[in-house]
Amino acid sequence: MATMMALIDQLVDDAMANDPNDASQIALFLTTVTQPRDPLQGALQKLARCVRENEDSWQAKYWNAVLLPATGNYCREEALAATKADDPSGMGFRWAGIEAAINGMWYAVGPYLGLDDNFEVMRRKDWNAEQQWMADTSLLMQMIDDWIDQEEDRAVRTTAVLSGEWSPAGVQELYRKTVADLILLLSKNGVRNNTIGALFVDLYTDFICVGLDAMKGGIAL
């Protein structure tokens, strides 16, 4: 799922460089109905088929009811960002991409989080603790990525970093929240040994640092 989202991100970036209207159509390639026009689009179709090969009935319903609409919204919002349109929320049209990434994670693990078929009530206020933690970590990584890319973004789009909505202090605050919530989640699920808890926090921090290094090196999309 992470690879698929990264490939969509690359396709959207490439499309925005040519025609923002193309960017808004990228989600169609996930349906494997639209004929791909270049190798990356074909790769996305093949990857989507691979991801879905062993899906269960819950995932099949979720793909169509939640993931496809969220991905389509992300592509449309990125197309708006390419025109330097104003986002009243101050987020620079970033939230739709974050939600698409979150929904992608839930496609993979939703039943293990206790999610049922009533997708219409999957509103933020109804999220359980695990969902909220996954959402916060996704937001944290986007904040870090936008901070690293701010000079590059300045020429092509507005972002929450450039508008002042996100700051290093905000990144630090959210990181501390995710660490505290991770410890609570471990305890909630029966992991109460402080040494093991510290190990999970260290691993979590290491993953963030690996991601940060990849962003700085241009490896992460």
Taking CA atoms, 126 is separated from 20, 110, 111, in Å, by 34, 14, 15
Query: Are 43 and 139 within one domain?
Result: no
**Angle in degrees, 0-180, between the axes of helices 68-82 and 2-18, rounded to the nearest 10:** 30
Confidence (pLDDT) at 92: 82
What is the rounded average pLDDT for all residues in the chain? 86
Residue 54's Cβ-side half-sphere holds a number of Cα atoms within 13 Å equal to 1
| Pair (83, 99) in one structural domain | yes
Residue 14's alpha-carbon distances to 60, 85, 164, in angstroms, are 29, 19, 27
For residues 91 and 127, membership in a common domain is answered with no
The dihedral built from the CA positions of residue 72, 78, 84 and 85, taken in this order, carries a sign that is positive
Are 197 and 114 within one domain?
Answer: no
Quote the percentage of the chain above a pLDDT of 70: 95
3-state secondary structure of 185: helix
Most confident of the ranges 29-33, 103-107, 213-217 = 103-107
- Are 1 and 104 within one domain? yes
98 and 9 share a domain?
yes
Shortest CA distance to 12 belongs to which of 83, 74, 55, 59? 74
Q: Based on the fold, state whether residues 85 and 141 are members of the same structural domain.
A: no
Whether residue 83 has pLDDT greater than 90: no
96 and 193 assigned to the same domain: no
Q: Count structural domains, the chain.
A: 2
Shared domain for 109 and 79, answered yes or no, is: yes
> According to the 3-state scheme, what is the secondary structure of 31-61?
HCCCCCCCHHHHHHHHHHHHHHCCCCHHHHH
Residue where one domain finishes, among candidates 72, 95, 119: 119
Answer yes or no: is pLDDT of 121 > 70: no
pLDDT of residue 193: 94
The answer to whether residues 152 and 101 belong to one domain is no
Residue 195 has a CB neighbour count (10 Å cut-off) of 6
* Integer Cα distance of 173 and 190 in angstroms: 26
Say what the pTM is: 0.83
- 127 and 215 share a domain? yes
- pLDDT reading at 221 higher than 60: no
Question: 119, 136, 153 — which closes off a domain?
Answer: 119
d(CA 144, CA 168): 9
Q: Tell me which of 97, 119, 141 is where a domain ends.
A: 119
Q: Contact at 8 Å (CB) between 171 and 147?
A: yes
At residue 127, the pLDDT reads 83
Residue range of the domain that includes 200: 123-221
How far is residue 197's CA from residue 184's CA, in Å, rounded to a whole number?
10
Give the residue from 94, 79, 71 showing the smallest Cα distance to 1: 71
Asked whether residue 8 falls in the same domain as residue 79, the answer is: yes
Residue 203 has pLDDT above 90, yes or no: yes
Please classify residue 158 by burial: count the beta carbons closer than 10 Å to its beta carbon, then call 0-12 exposed, 13-18 middle and 19+ buried.
buried
